[in-house]
Amino acid sequence: MLNALRQLPARGAATATTTAAPAKIEKTVNNVTILGRVGADPQLRGSQEHPVVTFSVATHTNYKYENGDWAQRTDWHRVVVFKPNLRDTVLEYLKKGQRTMVQGKISYGEITDQQGNQKTSTSIIADDVLFFRDANN
């Protein structure tokens, strides 16, 4: 099993195009669910032909040191929304600081910045976004 894992790419997805059907079609799973707070108002990006809405979600983990002190680690997740109706709803109604749950899949890729440098990118491609109202609102 360990040897099989070493043969997989460390990051990213390999894309192969062929006209022949694969000899064996295997079921795979790529699901992620996060529950956290929106880091900034969603932004519309991409082009008019290929629009995408992006936003970030913060999740955290609490842990206790041996001396009894508590600490909190915050992780930031980049979320992208391609589905037209979901994209429009997220852009209109989701706001910074709002609690949200995102269900989707993880995608790894590369982005070229303005200086031409390639950087790795990890995103959650949203299939569903749930909105929560705080009790105070």
pLDDT tens across 17-64, in order?
667 777 788 899 999 999 999 999 999 998 999 999 999 999 999 999
User: Where is pLDDT greater, at 130 or 133?
Assistant: 130
Looking at residue 9, its pLDDT comes to: 46
Looking at residue 6, its pLDDT comes to: 37
Does residue 3 sit within a domain?
no
Q: How many domains does the chain have?
A: 1
Say what the pTM is: 0.76
Can you point out the beta strands (E) in the chain?
32-38, 43-46, 51-64, 70-81, 99-112, 118-132
Does residue 82 sit within a domain?
yes
Does residue 125 sit within a domain?
yes
